[in-house]
Amino acid sequence: MTFGIMSLASCSFFRIKPEVEHPITTLTPPETENRRPSEIGCLSLMSQYCNSLYAPGSEGNLIIHQQKGTPIYVLQGKTRNGLHHVFYELSRSKIRNRDRLPGDFLSILRAHRYFERLENLIHREPFEKMSLMDRLEANEVEQEVEHLWNLAISDTLIIRLSNRFPEFPRIPASLLSPEMGHFSRMERKILLSEISKAIWRDHPNWKKVSATFEKLRRTYLKLIPSLPISPELKSDWLERITSLTLVLPGSLPEIVDQDCSSTTMNAFYYSNLNVLTVCAGDFNSEDILITLAHEMAHALDNTRSLYLFYKSSLLSKKLESFNQAVCETPSKPVSCTDWYSFKSKSGELLEAISGFEPDLKNFNRCLKKESYTRPLDDEAITRFAESSIRQKIRTLADEEAFIRITQPKLPLSNGKKVHNPSFLNPCHYLQTQWSNEDLSGELSILTAFTMDYRCSTEKEPAERLKRSLDFVSRLFAGIEAEMIAAEGEFSERKDLIDEGYSSPSSERFADSIGSLAVAENLLEIQSTWDRRMTFLASNSWQCNGPSLASEFPRESEVLRRYLLDTHTDGEDRKKDMLSTPIRRALGCVKDFEWNECSLFRSPDMP
């Protein structure tokens, strides 16, 4: 069987360990390069690759041999004994790195003989060799392994919570304080972060991610000066790429995600931190060149531009200074004179954050998923802003946060009153740090309330609380309104998208700019085969295995119109990936209709 320039070798088995096999297919380069590669259709090339990836005997697993360089492994299927490869690799890494896990967590796992059970699970017999009782036992072991892992996490958190709050074991769950709940949530993030670093930090696949990231950084730094954008934007983009950081999935408590650090196939860029990560399920199942290039491009999009605009504003700096002062030195509160000055100038400070203009507006308009969006008028902006802040304040009010923060002593269930460590101290209440707080986040809201309440001249406590809440509601509704107006037609807020006021462009922006960096990397590869295989292996996530969607593609495209997804859909996403620079690098022809948005043809060009 042959297609294009590919040849499909006979089906074989890739042996990870003597008793564990993967059904796998090997793709090998042709004996001679095709001298007329431009005759091959680009979309057809991708379709044929996907057919090979999910051909009988392959089932989502490939070994791709290159003419130069080491083989590329694509492992998106299952082992012969029915386990997803990414789970199998996660399990092996847990076993191999068990001694690096947090000591309190590890001791609980060992007490329940977790690792012996995990070994039994990943080396179980293939399904075709199981009897009914074998299958029942296999199911029990699989459920047990998952339960014991989650049990160890919850038990570790109970121990840590008891260390932080010695009274915790004697308090019924219904009487736990919000502070304990906040601490438990924060400590869970810290624990998951410790676990993720222990499992993945020295994994060879993660080392490949790091090497590819640095290579792409060099590509971007070389590419940006050649783009048809203003000198000011070039300088800005160069600085953003230079300061961009790659981190292990879940390695920072601020971005921890248990699924991302285990088996999820995805990647994320965090605009408020300027860091990105590739999930373990992704770097253990395919090549990650395109994924990394896409996430790096998010550092250049308007979401990051908007964050930097607000972060540099005087309003943001003022609120941040109050957050820091209230949290770090609660015994030496900020002068009420400073707060009165801030209140009197809050209108001016709000006006100062209304001047944001999106970069490359026309280019981003071309990239919008929906070409037409309703004009976002003042009435809609006010409605969305007030709704957003009302929900945030309601969440805090449900916890009685505003009352707890304003009381020097709190009552216990036995009627006694004790000192309140969260008195006028929002950071203690939320069990968090003041840095990297959103402009309209919970801490900023509580800090502003605390300052206004403490500095109020109103004597009656309930009225005092009401007036401070009213001011905070107005202030942050104003902040939200300015943010929504600035986001405008490109907003990623679900309520704006649902009502037709916005259509985000950031994902297609990342695809478009990322494709330029990918094309530059591909052009450095001399062999056409290796170039194409590198691109296709990085697009393996776009291949659908046997399913209703792959069997009935046109019907599935109709249904996708009703799904909320900021990416382009199905075949359209593949067409987006096959931009003009990519097609040139691959040496294939355009065999599809698509309105490509190109930065080099945009009216934004200087």
Q: Report the pLDDT value the prediction gives residue 17, as an integer from 0 to 100.
A: 41
φ/ψ of 36, rounded to 5, equals -130, 65
Task: Tell me if residue 28 falls in helix, strand or coil.
Answer: strand
Q: Which residues contact 428 (CB under 8 A, 6 or more apart)?
A: 179, 327, 330, 421, 422
Q: Report the pLDDT value the prediction gives residue 276, as an integer from 0 to 100.
A: 96
Does the structure show a pLDDT above 90 at 244? yes
Nearest CA-CA partner of 534 in 74, 42, 4? 74
Which secondary structure element, helix H or strand E, spans residue 558, and what is its range?
helix 553-560
Per mean pLDDT, which range of 26-35, 41-50, 159-168 is the poorest? Answer: 26-35
Confidence of residue 490 (pLDDT cuts 50, 70, 90): very high
In degrees to the nearest 10, what's the CA dihedral of 543, 524, 206, 28?
50
φ/ψ of 41, rounded to 5, equals -75, 140
In angstroms, rounded to a whole number, what is the distance separating the alpha carbons of residues 179 and 431?
7
In DSSP notation, 419-465 reads E-TTTT-HHHHHT--STT--TTSHHHHHHHHHHHHHH----SHHHHH
Nearest CA-CA partner of 309 in 366, 269, 271, 364? 271
In angstroms, rounded to a whole number, what is the distance separating the alpha carbons of residues 122 and 592?
43
Q: What is the mean pLDDT of the chain?
A: 88
Residues 206/277, Cβ–Cβ less than 8 Å? no
Q: Which two tokens stand for residue 405?
A: 């923060």
Nearest CA-CA partner of 34 in 5, 1, 66, 68? 5
Does the structure show a pLDDT above 90 at 563? no
Q: Which residues contact 129 (CB under 8 A, 6 or more apart)?
A: none
In angstroms, rounded to a whole number, what is the distance separating the alpha carbons of residues 585 and 354?
43
Q: Which two tokens stand for residue 399?
A: 């916890």
Q: Which residues contact 321 (CB under 8 A, 6 or more apart)?
A: none
Nearest CA-CA partner of 17 in 91, 127, 77, 70? 91
Length of the chain: 606
Measured at the CA of 122, the angle between CA 116 and CA 127, to 5 degrees, comes to: 130
Q: Report the pLDDT value the prediction gives residue 172, as an integer from 0 to 100.
A: 84
Does the structure show a pLDDT above 80 at 241? yes
Site of tokens 């799904």: 563
Does the structure show a pLDDT above 90 at 539? yes
Which secondary structure element, helix H or strand E, spans residue 3, and what is its range?
strand 2-3
Q: Report the pLDDT value the prediction gives residue 571, as an integer from 0 to 100.
A: 80
Number of Cβ within 10 Å of residue 56's Cβ equals: 9
φ/ψ of 17, rounded to 5, equals -150, 150
Residues 275/245, Cβ–Cβ less than 8 Å? yes
The 10s digit of each residue's pLDDT in 436-483 is 667 788 999 999 999 999 999 999 999 999 999 999 999 999 999 999
pTM of the model: 0.89
570 versus 336: the higher-pLDDT residue is 336
Residues 431/183, Cβ–Cβ less than 8 Å? yes
Mean pLDDT to the nearest integer, 38-44: 83
In DSSP notation, 267-282 reads EEEETTTTEEEE-HHH
Q: Report the pLDDT value the prediction gives residue 569, as an integer from 0 to 100.
A: 57
Per mean pLDDT, which range of 9-18, 48-57, 332-341 is the poorest? Answer: 9-18
Q: Which two tokens stand for residue 317?
A: 């700096």
Confidence of residue 590 (pLDDT cuts 50, 70, 90): very high
Q: Report the pLDDT value the prediction gives residue 123, as an integer from 0 to 100.
A: 92
In angstroms, rounded to a whole number, what is the distance separating the alpha carbons of residues 545 and 395?
42
Segment 377-386 long-range contacts (CB within 8 Å, at least 24 positions apart): 380/499, 380/501, 381/481, 381/484, 381/485, 382/477, 382/481, 384/480, 384/481, 384/484, 384/493, 384/495, 384/496, 385/477, 385/478, 385/480, 385/481, 385/483, 385/484, 386/477, 386/480
Helices (H), 123-279: 132-164, 178-200, 204-223, 231-243
Mean pLDDT to the nearest integer, 50-79: 90
Does the structure show a pLDDT above 80 at 180? yes
In angstroms, rounded to a whole number, what is the distance separating the alpha carbons of residues 33 and 529?
7
Identify the DSSP state of 330: T
In angstroms, rounded to a whole number, what is the distance separating the alpha carbons of residues 67 and 530?
6
Mean pLDDT to the nearest integer, 474-496: 95
